[in-house]
Amino acid sequence: MGILCLLLFTESLIWFSGFSVAVDTVNASQSISDGKTLVSSGGTFELGFFSPGNLPDRYLGIWYKNVPVRTVVWVANRNQPIHDSSGTLMVVSTGNLVLLNQNRSVVWSTNSTEQAQTPVLQLLDSGNLVLRDDGNDSPDTYLWQSFDYPSDTFLPGLKIGWDANSSLERHLTSWKSPDDPSPGDFTWGMERSNYPELVAWKGSSKYFRSGPWNGLRFSGAPQSGSNPVFSYEFINNGTEAYHTFAVENKSELVRIVVNQTSYLWELSTWNEDSQSWMLFLSVPKDYCDNYGLCGAYSKCLTDKLPYCQCLKGFSPRYPDKWNSNDWSQGCARDKLLGCNDGDGFIKHTQMKLPATTNTWLDGSLSLKDCRTRCLKNCSCTAYSNSDIRGKGSGCVLWFGDLIDMRQYPSGGQDIYIRMSASEIGKSMQKLLITVIVVPAIGLLAAMLTALYCVFRSRMNYGERTENVTEVIEKEGPEDDLELPLFDLITLAKSTNNFSTENKLGEGGFGPVYKGTLVDGQEIAVKRLSTLSRQGLKEFKNEVTLIAKLQHRNLVKLLGCCIQGEEKMLIYEYMANKSLDAFIFDPTRGRLLNWSKRFHIICGVARGLLYLHQDSRLRIIHRDLKASNVLLDAEMNPKISDFGLARIFGGDQTEGNTSRVAGTYGYMAPEYAIDGLFSVKSDVFSYGILVLEIISGKRNRGLYHLESNLIGHAWEMYKSGRSIELIDVDSVDTCTLSEVLRCIHIALLCLQEHPEDRPTMSYVLTMFSSENALPVPKQPGFLVDRYPRKESSSSSKVESLSANEVSFTLLEGR
């Protein structure tokens, strides 16, 4: 009897005290009043009454139990707060929930029509509040659940979409403000169509859309569908269409929130170390994410200006408006469709598929049958695969205007847009010119070049108009280059007379060709342009320097050729060319998993350490960048292009110059502005290179941001969101702690003042150690803080884009 009394006393403490305990269920004989809470069995979520901000109004909601800053994931009475602490939640015997105020008036209730014998309310560890019938043999069958009526938060296991059988339309709605959980302006849900997709509305207007799910990802997403944090699933079986997601690590707290701010949709994870929510993904990401920005039949590109461009075969509908950056009216066809009279299709790649409001879907048709089906319908304007896994399958047709397309450097998918016979003919004509005429002209040019080379070589063979000692400016009398000399005929034969087919690329020095010697050895021939006086200085400098350097992370110089007007450097051939051809390329970037990227990061660091400290000369490279890091067949990095390098002697560690030369976007601030260079200016360039390797983005290629990559990385670091920098092509394979450490080290290298930056020896120590790292100071943003000076002449222009331009300033400070 005493034990029974003790149990009754304990139960009364549970339900009538102001403390929460690990009780996750309530039956029809119990209630929850203000001040009492329900806690899920695993202790993850808690249900009770709360007041947002400092307001007196009370709401019934669910929040994370162990997150210090209360993070609410669901609210019952969003539209009708209780103005005091009199609220009571009750389970009605018929199988419904009711929320009562002081007057015992119903403030909120569920709408279950099913009768229950033994109704029980339970808070699950998923955050789902469920009402079930204990008398039912199916415990997973619910009379009602909060997951069917979400607020602003998308939790793992929750479904966003619609169910025809239950007439449910599950969507998220933002809070009006951080202190007001009533519905705000933004709604996120599944748009009903034959080819459903997630859409965000601002009021009644479309604001953003994800693009339809294509089996791997949203077509409107540049990244792959998989990542180390969560995995998506899309179900569309005719009666039900929804998106849901699962967390890979069940112990992680992950949520997606629809906001009333510019970051409409945010996916964040709880970080125990910083005791804060760490943002992982957010949309909209850039200007092109604005729905319908470019109107019909156009595509949006963030790496070009203007952002909007008409598709091939289309022109601006209203040119005056278009030229004034009002693209909303879109583009119109240059040639009207003939409907089955020779119409064809032009393939567009890496696209966000158009809005799917007017579409038709058949998951069983092949792409070939899909094309035929589209041609048979005069209203069909485009077709694509509905599932791109494997070789592609399923068919989706578009009818009417094509709206809200964009093109990605990676991701997206192919779409075939219907065009008139005349436009298809025009495209075929251009293709024939490319395939037949251009090679013919190239062959003729190669023959003429070969004849010229034979003539010149016979005139000059055996004669050297310039002696090596006359060309190369030696640094001291003790220097003995012992560098093999190649004759012009040998190099002409090895490169197929310097044919365009053998051309590997071109820099400010001149073109680089691939060659094969008689013994089968592959070489790279760097040929000085006869028009480049700057190139002559670089040539002399590079021969002087690199002949003395031997390191596995420096490109090896095999010899040179100085014959007549020809001056060439012969290097070992790098099978994978330069690093920029991988990290900035949407296709080849997928070949670089994180271990390879980290291997390259460390290899470049070792090469720089050798230049700065371990070689018999102290050398500052002055032009370290992705295009000057070459990759051999095993993806080992080798620093190249020493045309701008400077030798220091003894204990000298810095210098200045009135000739600032290098690549804009990689130069340290003190060098770009005042001509001051040191080993620490190379460290700054290295920091940028590390960020580019991690992110797959150029330092000056983030047009949708107000800052460059440095500024973006700094903002992400300060807000605990550095994970957002990781390139989607390596995110699946990365060790998160290792990547975050690399980002931290890169920011240390990018600090504004040279004395704050680490040496390369310390950088390598930090990579191999697990000790705590120093806190970085604000970096030298360069692009923002130091506008580019106008130069009176420019050499080494390697790209016409704003991303990477090498230049020389003839005026120092």
Mean pLDDT by 10 residues, the chain (813 residues): 38 40 79 94 96 90 94 96 95 90 93 83 96 76 93 96 90 94 94 92 92 88 61 88 89 91 79 81 83 95 84 94 90 86 89 95 94 92 93 93 91 92 65 52 61 49 33 38 75 90 79 91 84 56 68 88 81 91 88 93 94 81 91 92 64 51 74 82 95 90 59 90 86 84 96 92 89 87 40 30 32 28
Closest-CA residue to 70 (of 81, 85, 59): 59
Selection from 232, 257, 234 nearest residue 247 by Cα:
232
HEC string for 363-402: CCCCHHHHHHHHHCCCCEEEEECCECCCCCECEEEEECCC
Residues 6+ apart with CB under 8 A from 246: 156, 157, 230, 231, 233
Q: Which amino acid is at 283?
A: V
The number of C-alpha atoms within 13 Å of 545 and in the hemisphere containing its C-beta is 24
Nearest to 50 by CA among 95, 20, 81: 81
Q: Which amino acid appears at position 338 of this protein? A: G
Per-residue pLDDT at 441: 63
Question: Which H, E and C letters describe 321-361, residue by residue?
Answer: HHHCCCCCCCEEECCCCCCCCCCEEEEEEEEECCCCCCEEE
User: Quick one: pLDDT at residue 262?
Assistant: 60
C-alpha to C-alpha distance for 756 and 444, rounded to whole angstroms: 57
Q: In the chain, what are the domain boundaries?
A: 19-149, 152-285, 288-427, 467-573, 577-813
So what CATH class is 467-573? alpha beta
Active-site hit among 152, 623, 641, 729: 623
Bin 247: left if φ > 0, else alpha if -120 < ψ < 50, else beta.
beta
Fold for the domain defined by 19-149: Agglutinin, subunit A (2.90.10)
623 is catalytic: yes
State the DSSP code for 82. Answer: B
Residue whose C-alpha is closest to residue 387's, from 413, 405, 408: 413
End-to-end Cα, the chain, rounded Å: 95
- CATH architecture observed for domain 577-813: Orthogonal Bundle (1.10)
CA–CA–CA angle 677, 680, 685 (5° rounding)? 90
DSSP code per residue over 503-558: EEEE-SS-EEEEEE-TTS-EEEEEE--TT-HHHHHHHHHHHHHHTT---TTBPPEE
pTM (2 d.p.): 0.55
Predicted pLDDT at 562: 79
Helix/strand/coil for 137:
coil
Four-point Cα dihedral 653, 658, 661, 664, nearest 10: 100
The confidence score (pLDDT) of residue 706 equals: 46
Look at residue 643 in the predicted model and tell me its pLDDT.
64
674, containing H or E segment: helix 669-674
CA 351 to chain centre: 15
Sheet hosting strand 172-177, strand order edge to edge: 172-177, 180-191, 197-202, 205-209
CA nearest 493: which of 453, 443, 526, 441?
453
Nearest to 710 by CA among 682, 741, 752, 762: 752
| Cα gap 326→303, rounded to integer Å | 18
SS3 262: coil
Integer Cα distance of 373 and 384 in angstroms: 11
